[in-house]
């Protein structure tokens, strides 16, 4: 079987595709990626052939992100889902995806849920297509609803077809009931390669706190204050802290660091999570999923997009605590001081109360009970025949 795989930019969007592509390779399927320029290095690392499409016009994209930074969450969500993913990214990638369909003739198009160009190309050519969830099904159906007004310009009842296409997700039903009619849940196959975690703390064996706000947050005005709030929170706590900046900030920008905090631009989360006691995250789908799969409780500092919804859902399941960020200057003149104190209290609560870890481990157990991705992909391939 020939499988064309497409993604928008961002580690959180590309990452969920990787275990599905690995399963396809184990089956002996041929895989061809079509990705925007910003994913070139990541897709090269897979070893599969790929084509690079276009990215959205830089000026238009910059204008949208400027508006996102200044807008309330609701307006920002419309801008991201409708204007960026629905309009700009779809129009930019459609020529490359269409050409790949015509020249390579795939049997199946596999896309991450926010990449719409490949679904448009598939519908125009009568090709089957399936989507791989980035995060919560409820959030992704809402994102599709926000993008619908611009996607409908492509005709062919495209929005209805997107809702009806097979939806592959790693999240369990108890945490993530799905409005997609053809939902198929899976677990990743065991044996994901991990690298040893260096001893950056000189033999200290205190609980490890992993801090990650993904690859985008660091670029936002709230990025540095968010990191600084966490550093304030953990100063003096009997924990080790690994803070990753997503390659968007230098450690020097974060100010003085306490001895228990180590900063890296990026460390693969699969290398960190097995060693951690909890994670402090913004609630992006990739990190949320990874932490839950590892049975880790979470402290959320949500900023935008699907992060507040992810945070509320996990906290409602008893596996995390939400800290609403406030980076306005305090009377002391230090922005994020209140947020830092609440993050500290959340970390202390989770470390002292085993119920949070127990709830996270129940979710992890349900995730492990799902069929392996190899089985789910085989069933999907059989349905095409």
Residue with tokens 């016009």: 57
Which whole-number Å values give the CA distances from 113 to 11, 86, 143, 165, in the listed order? 14, 11, 9, 11
Count the Cβ atoms, other than its own, within 10 Å of residue 341: 15
Residue 328 has a CB neighbour count (10 Å cut-off) of: 11
Which pTM was predicted?
A: 0.81
- CA–CA separation, 63 vs 60, rounded Å? 5
Q: Is the distance from CB of 308 to CB of 239 less than 8 angstroms?
A: no
- For residue 289, the model assigns a pLDDT of 86
Query: Which residues, listed in sequence order, are joined to residue 211 by a DSSP beta bridge?
Result: 243, 280
Please report the pLDDT score of residue 252 as a whole number: 74
Strand 183-185, strand 2-6: pairing: unpaired
The mean pLDDT values, 10 residues at a time, for the chain of 385 residues are 94 88 95 96 94 94 87 86 95 97 97 96 96 90 94 91 94 90 88 77 94 72 81 94 82 84 89 94 87 94 84 94 78 65 96 96 93 93 83
For 202, the token pair is 């000189």
Looking at residue 327, what is its pLDDT? Answer: 67
What integer pLDDT is reported at residue 217 of this predicted model?
62
Distance (Å, whole) CA 249 – CA 246 = 7
Of 104, 22, 93, 25, residue with least CA distance to 56: 93
> Which single residue is written with the structure tokens 């968010």?
226
């Amino acid at each position: 079987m020939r499988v064309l795989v497409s993604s928008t930019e961002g580690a959180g969007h590309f990452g969920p595709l990787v275990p599905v592509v690995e399963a396809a390779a184990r089956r002996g399927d041929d895989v061809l990626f079509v990705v925007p320029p910003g994913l070139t290095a990541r897709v090269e690392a897979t070893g599969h052939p790929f084509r690079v499409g276009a990215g959205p016009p830089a000026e238009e994209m910059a204008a949208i992100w400027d508006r996102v930074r200044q807008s309330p969450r609701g307006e920002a969500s419309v801008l991201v889902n409708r204007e960026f993913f629905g309009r700009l990214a779809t129009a930019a990638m459609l020529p490359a995806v269409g050409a790949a369909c015509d020249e390579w003739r795939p049997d199946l198009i596999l896309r991450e849920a926010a990449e719409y160009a490949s679904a448009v190309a598939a519908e125009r050519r009568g090709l089957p297509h399936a989507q791989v969830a980035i995060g919560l099904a409820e959030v992704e159906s809402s994102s599709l609803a926000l993008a619908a007004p611009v996607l409908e310009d492509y005709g062919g009842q495209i929005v209805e077809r997107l809702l009806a296409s097979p939806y592959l997700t790693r999240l369990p039903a108890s945490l993530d009931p799905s409005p997609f009619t053809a939902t198929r849940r899976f677990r990743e196959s065991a044996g994901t390669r991990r690298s040893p975690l260096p001893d950056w703390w000189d033999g200290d064996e205190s609980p490890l706190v992993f801090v990650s706000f993904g690859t985008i947050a660091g670029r936002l005005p709230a990025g540095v204050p968010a990191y600084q709030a966490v550093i304030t929170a953990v100063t003096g706590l009997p924990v080790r802290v690994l803070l990753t900046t997503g390659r968007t900030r230098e450690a020097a920008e974060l100010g003085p660091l306490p001895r228990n905090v180590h900063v890296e631009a990026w460390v693969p989360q699969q290398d960190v999570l097995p060693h951690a006691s909890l994670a402090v995250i913004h609630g992006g789908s990739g990190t949320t999923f990874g932490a839950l799969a590892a049975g880790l409780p979470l402290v959320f500092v949500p900023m935008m997009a699907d992060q507040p919804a992810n945070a509320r859902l996990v906290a409602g399941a008893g596996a995390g605590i939400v800290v609403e960020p406030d980076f306005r200057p305090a009377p002391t003149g230090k922005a994020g001081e209140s947020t830092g104190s609440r993050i500290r209290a959340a970390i202390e609560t989770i470390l002292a109360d085993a119920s949070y870890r127990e709830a996270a481990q129940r979710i992890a157990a349900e995730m492990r009970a799902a069929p392996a991705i190899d089985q789910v992909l085989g069933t999907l391939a059989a349905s095409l025949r």
